[in-house]
Structure 1
Amino acid sequence: MTAIAATPPAPLSMKQVLLCGALIVTLSMGIRHGFGLWLQPITMDRGWSRETFAFALAIQNLAWGLAGPFAGMLADRFGAFRVLIVGSLLYAAGLVLMAVSTSGLAFTGSAGLILGMAQSGTTYAVVYGVIGRNVAPEKRSWAMGVAAAAGSFGQFLMVPVENWLIGSFGWQNALFLLGCLALAIAPLAFGLKEPKATPQAGAHHQSIGHALREAFSYPSFQLLMAGYFVCGFQVVFIGVHMPSYLKDNGLTPNVATTALALIGLFNVFGTYAAGSLGQRMQKKYILSSIYALRSVAIVIFLSVPLTPWSVYIFASVMGFLWLSTVPPTNAVIAQIFGVQYMSMLGGFVFLSHQVGSFLGVWLGGKLYDTTGSYDVVWWIAVALGIFAAIVNLPVRESAIVRRAPATA
């Protein structure tokens, strides 16, 4: 009996894939990047503790991570565009329900569970699967950098927009308007609709189960997951809690808004640079350098007097390092395992990222309520950055060697 596999269909236009993928990531990542701006208005209006808000966003990140592998699996099996359409509808529903939630449980269900599932189907794992299958290997890391840079531009663009919406229309109406904006992901999804593959005799088809066993038994995959855990802890803690940290230390809300916008702006350059460098040098060295530099930046930030300019410089540096881990991490996955199950495997690595995100955002709120300070969490972030810099160094980037299938 001869193994049967699918004939790869003619690839979509790289320009089409990058344009639609970049716009989708811009909207999805841009909307979520400003959620920290809602912490104080919502908790003050509802009479909730910061831990209540932080726990909901922690659940959001965990739900995003847990749903990510399944969203990726469905995208690999049935097409990314269907997953993106469902994700768009969930995103809009989650934002509307977030606005009308009057209890901590309802807020956790909407801002946490629903929005987390929506993000799993509208962000990098799903979009990168389409990029991996439709962009030539020699341009793949660069193309992923372009998509990540688009998401970063969305963060830069949406933070001042969201701040303006809150100030002009109130925090509830601002969420309603963002819900309408999230629906724009649905029509863009059709630009990532891939034609169906046709069966081809004589080619080896790897099952989902075999792909998972292969990946999870491979040490480099485990090391990438460990590093991505740290990435999630650091960026989500800073993104959610830095506005309140700055206000607690006497700085105005405008400083926090500017800082988040600067993170988004410099993230554009950082993610593009990381994707481009990934075409020229080993990606494990890029990842190790990013994590080490994050720890150095946090130590310096905590050591100097806190002023608007120290915040802006820190935000710019961290912005350059913010999502610059995304293109090299996903490019390594494609390089090692191929692109057949890239969305699914990327989803599992991202699950590790989101477990870190859960701990970063929740511990930020928990330890603040316990100690009255964010200091302990800042230093945990420093230690984890050093750990991630070390564990990425042994990663092997060469393609995994598979035995040829037996034929009868």
Structure 2
Amino acid sequence: MDEKKAKHLGHMVVLASWLAVFCLFGYRSTFSVLQGPMSKSLGWSASKLTLGYSLMMTVYAVTAFFSGMIIDKWGTKPAYAIGSVCAALGFLITSYAHSYMGYLIPYVVFAGIGTGMLWVSSTVSVRKWYVGKSYATMWGIAFMGAPVAQVVLSLGAKAVLLTLDWRIAMRGLSVVVFIALVIASIVAKKNPNDYGFEAFGSDSIQIKSNDEHIWSVKEAFRTAPIWGAIIAFLTSMVAEFLVWTQVVKFWTTDCKLSLSTATNLYVIIGIVGIFTMPVMGIVSDKVVKKLNNEIKARKIMLIFAPAVGLLACALLLNTSKSLAVGVIACVCFAIYWAIEPGGVAGYAGAIYGNKSLGKIWGLATLIVMGIGPALGSYMGAHLYDISGSYFKSMIFAASSFTVSIIAAGLLPQYSKK
């Protein structure tokens, strides 16, 4: 296959990942906007509503493990196809809920399976096609789907809520995610070795794919790097999901901002993220190139990312003093967001190689996403319910980012087979 054709296939992989990430983060970003109107309409507490989101993320985590095995064998097409149906049903059926179980069951099961097919598939597929000094840049482009979703879908949901109710907003979202994921499943490609060539950027890594050790899951999980990556990623996810799911309500309750102003602040993270995703990807790859050591470079970026997240938490607590401080906090979160999720997958890929990454990262995601989002989002709501303020919630998030910094600093730079 000629280089022009190979580049076209690689770009289609990035496009499919962009659409998958767009839909995945559409679920996350719209929950924070929809939570208030749902609570008011149905008469449920913040923690009761957030429990549904937490359980959904648990199902998401289990599904992510199986999606990793799927893409190692068949690529991402089957994962995106399953995701298109389930993710759409998650929004659609939930929009008809009147009882708590009528909300809990469809949201947890369908949304959990639908979104679970998207994260590992998108990250690992890009990593399989782009390695070394090429990976973070291309992942940054794919990950732009997340902030675009936060801007477009959050504002779209907000516009609907001004004149209609949350049920109509959810039905519209079901159509959006279905169409996007059907397109993703059509343009997605298999792994590069299925087309007979190496991943882009292979010239910048020491071990070529035909020299890679093929890791079993059991063998990989007997080594330190994967557990270090899991702890660093898990503690960041606890903090991140606490903020993502509760920050709009934090601004409206603790900082006394209107829902419109709070939503606009939330959207700033997405707007800034559209630029920080590719920019921080380029920065990360330049660090790889400068150090001539991908593992060390990814480790440095994984220390930097939660440090910026910690700063963002400190700034959030002072939003009530100045709206400008809240804006700076949003910028910091956008920088953190651009580095952490893709960076930790890049570290794992640099350690264990592309051929084994799907199943290894699938299990790692099962552990991280089975605990982190559920714990973070629930603790954020729970600490608010028992104290009447989000101060303790933000301190909890800051503490979790601190643990992530420490764990990243202890990450090994090699792994013994």
Deviations 1:94-118 (A, max 9, x none): 1011111222223222222321221
Partner of 1:321: 336
Query: Could you tell me whether the CA contact under 8 Å between 2:13 and 2:189 is conserved in 1?
Result: no
Q: Specify the code of the residue in structure 1 equivalent to 2:269.
A: I
Matched, 1:363 2:379: yes
Partner of 2:234: 229
Query: Could you tell me whether the CA contact under 8 Å between 2:318 and 2:325 is conserved in 1?
Result: no
Change (3 A) 1:373 1:24: same
Change (3 A) 1:292 1:353: same
Change (3 A) 1:344 1:323: farther
Identical positions, percent: 16
Q: Residues 371-382 of structure 1 correspond to what in structure 2 (within 5 A)?
A: 371-382=387-398
Q: Specify the code of the residue in structure 2 equivalent to 1:288.
A: I
1:364: Cα distance to partner? 1.6
1:348: Cα distance to partner? 2.7
1:133: Cα distance to partner? 2.4
Partner of 1:7: none
Change (3 A) 1:342 1:44: same
Partner of 2:137: 142
Partner of 2:75: 79
Partner of 2:269: 263
CA distance, structure 1, for counterparts of residue 319 and residue 163 of structure 2: 35
Give the TM-score normalised by the residue count of structure 1.
0.87
Partner of 2:167: 172
Query: Could you tell me whether the CA contact under 8 Å between 2:308 and 2:335 is conserved in 1?
Result: no
1:370: Cα distance to partner? 1.6
Partner of 1:33: 29
**How many residue pairs get matched?**
387
Change (3 A) 1:82 1:134: same
1:198: Cα distance to partner? 9.5
1:326: Cα distance to partner? 1.6
Query: Could you tell me whether the CA contact under 8 Å between 1:263 and 1:322 is conserved in 2?
Result: no
Q: Specify the code of the residue in structure 1 equivalent to 2:18.
A: A
Partner of 1:284: 299
What secondary structure sits across from 1:100 in the alignment? coil
Q: Specify which of 110, 114, 119 is matched with residue 118 of structure 1.
A: 114
Q: Specify which of 94, 100, 104 is matched with residue 108 of structure 1.
A: 104
Change (3 A) 1:12 1:131: farther
1:51: Cα distance to partner? 1.3
Higher mean C-alpha displacement, 294-303 vs 76-85 = 294-303
What secondary structure sits across from 2:112 in the alignment? helix
Deviations 1:112-131 (A, max 9, x none): 232122111123x1022222
Deviations 1:320-347 (A, max 9, x none): 2124202211111111111123233223
- Higher helix content, 1 or 2: 2
Matched, 1:240 2:245: yes
Q: Specify which of 272, 275, 282 is matched with residue 281 of structure 2.
A: 275
Q: Any gaps of 5 or more consecutive residues in structure 1?
A: 1-9, 403-408
Q: Specify which of 84, 92, 106 is matched with residue 88 of structure 1.
A: 84
Change (3 A) 1:324 1:137: closer
CA distance, structure 1, for counterparts of residue 103 and residue 85 of structure 2: 18
CA distance, structure 1, for counterparts of residue 212 and residue 299 of structure 2: 29
Partner of 1:156: 151
Query: Could you tell me whether the CA contact under 8 Å between 1:274 and 1:327 is conserved in 2?
Result: no
Change (3 A) 1:331 1:303: same
Query: Could you tell me whether the CA contact under 8 Å between 2:16 and 2:185 is conserved in 1?
Result: yes
Query: Could you tell me whether the CA contact under 8 Å between 1:11 and 1:133 is conserved in 2?
Result: no
1:241: Cα distance to partner? 0.9
Q: Specify the code of the residue in structure 1 equivalent to 2:387.
A: T
Give the TM-score normalised by the residue count of structure 2.
0.86
1:274: Cα distance to partner? 3.1
Higher mean C-alpha displacement, 335-344 vs 354-363 = 335-344
